[in-house]
DNA sequence: TTCAACATGTAAGAAGTTACATGATTAC
DNA sequence: GTAATCATGTAACTTCTTACATGTTGAA
């Protein structure tokens, strides 16, 4: 449902085609809300039918640019200030961390190192964008400022994940000497079958 | 696709019913990967058909607990160490921030304050869990440690969002005096129609 | 006896992905 | 001419949500 409003928000910046919008999503925007071109084109059709956008112009190779209608602008504003934010986030990285105890210590170490590197590169990249915005390379209007705020969030979240991955490796919580089960090069005995080794928290009467 | 493996991961802790699993998702787990009961029950059926889990016991009111099979354990381990992590995250909060420039300054202030409070409460709550884990109230095994690592990530990400919301309010980037368009109590003239006021970045030839 | 919590499902639909299909224009 | 990029779509499928439907058990 957010995609709908996101498209309206992007069109508020000025007329754009499905292709343009898809490109925006493949860049920074897609880091927090992925969307592929089929979904975008279909959503644009629906928005047009609903009267929230209309065709602005036809370009070179079948290019079709849309523009926001008054109703569309009103709708995206309504969304921003009246519709409750959905605070659930979907992060596979964090989801996986619940299951780290099932991994071989070496695999886990390698995994955390990879994750740290990934988020570090991402944070760096976003910081680069942020700096160019701070130098005024993208203008100084309200829109550029909003971009800057969004970027800052990206930087901070990614940096938090870098710090987390570093912390997890440093405190070495799953690979410490005092917890030596499932050594990498040994065949796993029964401890490796957590299913039977655990009492099984949630009672399962017969 | 992650749900499938998440369920296997949870069942690695010991036998559980669809109801049990749904409850886990409605708690901490659902913060990073939401799942409702219909999806869970259907996924469990599929996993059973695939031979990755099997019925462990039948309980009181039609309760049906599943247990992981050897194939299931192998599969979740394969996922954890061989399958690429999907790094896209879906965060409506951040997505919205791209469109802050469309909001009335007062609405934006209120919005950021609400967001700050929400994430602060969440961070606090997770810190509470983390502390009780650190006191050893949840055991000290590999599984408890994994939980602790997951929790730490939650704390850090939520705290990063608190700091961000605070920063955004403090630097007051969208409400500063030097950018006085769209004052709350005035009727909006043409500046309030960003669609036409902007040159429109992505060329739209006719 | 009645209410809350336990417990499992189906059906319809919305949202999102992947694969397929096609053609125009530009740069080399 | 030929490859990359621009540009739009459809079809099939998976994933996820919402609403509906039903029945059990235990506590007040």
Write the pLDDT tens digit of every residue in B35-44: 999 999 999 9
pLDDT for A90 equals 96
pLDDT for A166 equals 97
* Domain assignment present for A197: no
pLDDT for A32 equals 95
Nearest protein residue to D24's C1' (by CA)? B61
**B125 C-beta less than 7 Å away from strand C:** no
Residue B37 sits in the same domain as residue B107: no
Decide if B102 contacts A125 (C-beta within 8 A). Answer: no
Q: What's the total number of domains in chain A?
A: 2
pLDDT tens per residue, range A163-197: 999 999 998 656 554 444 433 333 334 444 454 43
Percent of chain B with pLDDT over 70: 83
Distance CA B204, CA A57 (A): 6
List the single residue in A32, A93, A195 with the smallest CB-CB distance to B73.
A195
Residue A96 sits in the same domain as residue A182: yes
pLDDT tens per residue, range A15-50: 999 999 999 999 989 999 999 999 999 999 999 999
pLDDT for B17 equals 98
pLDDT for B11 equals 98
Query: Which of B33, B53, B82 is the last residue in one of the domains?
Result: B82
Flag whether residue B111 sits within 8 Å of chain A, measured between CB atoms. yes
Question: Is residue B187 predicted with pLDDT exceeding 50?
Answer: no
Flag whether residue A6 sits within 8 Å of chain B, measured between CB atoms. yes
Q: Sheet harboring A16-17: ordered strands across? A: A16-17, A64-68, A53-58
pLDDT tens per residue, range A68-110: 999 999 999 999 999 999 999 999 999 999 999 999 999 999 9
Question: Is residue B70 predicted with pLDDT exceeding 90?
Answer: yes
Question: Is residue A200 predicted with pLDDT exceeding 50?
Answer: no
* Domain assignment present for B111: yes
Inter-chain CB proximity B31 and A89 less than 8 Å: yes
**CA closest to A68 among chain B residues:** B195
pLDDT for B200 equals 35
Residue B67 sits in the same domain as residue B103: no
Question: Is residue B12 predicted with pLDDT exceeding 90?
Answer: yes
Query: Which of A47, A82, A117 is the last residue in one of the domains?
Result: A82
Distance CA B188, CA B192 (A): 5
Flag whether residue B197 sits within 8 Å of chain A, measured between CB atoms. no
**Strand C bases, protein C-beta under 7 A:** 6-12, 14-19, 23-26
Distance CA A120, CA A139 (A): 27
Decide if B6 contacts A187 (C-beta within 8 A). Answer: no
Residue B68 sits in the same domain as residue B108: no
Question: Is residue B125 predicted with pLDDT exceeding 60?
Answer: yes
Flag whether residue A60 sits within 8 Å of chain B, measured between CB atoms. yes
Residue B75 sits in the same domain as residue B154: no
List the single residue in B32, B68, B77 with the smallest CB-CB distance to A95.
B32
Question: Is residue A61 predicted with pLDDT exceeding 60?
Answer: yes
pLDDT for B97 equals 97
pLDDT for B155 equals 98
Nearest-CA distance from B158 to chain A in Å?
8
Q: Range of B123's domain?
A: 92-180
Give me the mean pLDDT over the A117-138 stretch.
Answer: 93
Residue A73 sits in the same domain as residue A148: no
* Domain assignment present for B185: no
What is the CATH classification number for the domain harbouring B7? 1.10.10.10
Residue B52 sits in the same domain as residue B102: no
Residue B107 sits in the same domain as residue B176: yes
Rounded CA–C1' distance between B49 and D16, in angstroms: 21
Residue A150 sits in the same domain as residue A71: no
Inter-chain CB proximity A145 and B179 less than 8 Å: yes
Q: Which DSSP string do the residues of chain B spell out, in sequence order?
A: -HHHHHHHHHHTTS-EEHHHHHHHHHTTHHHHS---HHHHHHHHHHHHHTTSEEEEEE-TTS-EEEEE-HHHHHHHHHHHHHSPP----B-HHHHHHTTGGGS-HHHHHHHHHHHHHHHHHHHHHHHHHHHHHHTTTT-SSHHHHHHHHHHHHHHHHHHHHHHHHHHHHHS-TTT-TT---S-TTSPP-GGG-HHHHS--SS----
Residue reference for tokens 């700096």: A131
Residue A135 sits in the same domain as residue A162: yes
Check residue A28 and report its DSSP letter. Answer: T
pLDDT for B185 equals 33
List the single residue in A146, A173, A194 with the smallest CB-CB distance to B174.
A146
pLDDT for B134 equals 86
Give me the mean pLDDT over the B169-188 stretch.
Answer: 51
């Amino acid at each position: 449902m957010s995609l709908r409003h996101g498209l309206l928000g992007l069109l508020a910046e000025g007329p754009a085609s499905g292709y343009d919008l898809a490109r925006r999503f493949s860049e920074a925007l897609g880091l927090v809300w992925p969307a592929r071109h089929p979904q975008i084109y279909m959503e644009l059709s629906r928005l047009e039918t609903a009267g929230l956008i209309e065709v602005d112009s036809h370009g070179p190779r079948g290019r079709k640019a849309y523009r926001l209608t008054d109703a569309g602008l009103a709708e995206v504003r309504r969304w921003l200030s009246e519709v409750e934010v959905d605070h659930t986030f979907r992060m596979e990285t964090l989801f996986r961390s619940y299951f780290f105890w099932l991994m071989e210590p070496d695999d886990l170490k390698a995994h955390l190192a990879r994750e740290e590197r990934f988020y570090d590169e991402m944070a760096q990249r976003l910081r680069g964008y942020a700096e160019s915005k701070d130098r005024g390379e993208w203008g100084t209007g309200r829109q550029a400022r909003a971009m800057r705020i969004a970027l800052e969030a990206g930087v901070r979240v990614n940096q938090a994940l870098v710090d987390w991955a570093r912390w997890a490796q440093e405190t070495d919580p799953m690979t410490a000497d005092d917890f030596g089960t499932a050594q990498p090069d040994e065949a796993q005995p029964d401890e490796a079958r957590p299913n039977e080794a655990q009492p099984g928290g949630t009672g399962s009467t017969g």
